[in-house]
Amino acid sequence: MAMIKFNLKLPENKGKLDIYSKTDEDNIPEVIIIGDPDGLRYLSGVLKELADYDQDSRNSPEGTREHVHLHKKCQLGKQSCEVEVCRADTKGTGELPDFMR
């Protein structure tokens, strides 16, 4: 199996950040993102790094999507759920998932 080259450089998290879901009184799901200024800057940095990342530089199969996992009590606070942030475009083809077309 080939060694996967991972060059995504995520910022250091120095702030407080929680991301969680809830439903309102009409049972409509909501996602709440709450953080102090440094926590929001961290999330912004993660999003920017993921958006700017050259997927073709990674030693992974064509058609894969770059993504980042943010974990409760690690990058996120204890109120958070596990969060995956994913690039929609695939490596090599740039295709988007069917639901985004």
For 7-36, what is each residue's pLDDT tens digit?
Answer: 678 888 889 999 999 999 999 999 999 999
- Average pLDDT (77-86) is 94
Strand 83-86 to 67-70 pairing:
antiparallel
pLDDT > 70 fraction of the chain, expressed in percent and rounded: 93
- Cα 91 from Cα 94, distance rounded (Å): 6
Domain boundaries, the chain: 17-94
Q: How far apart are CA 51 and CA 55, in angstroms?
A: 10
- pLDDT per position as a tens digit, 48-72: 999 999 888 878 888 888 899 999 9
Reduced to 3 states (helix: H, G, I; strand: E, B; else coil), residue 98 is: helix
pLDDT at residue 87 above 60? Answer: yes
Q: What is the pTM of this model?
A: 0.83
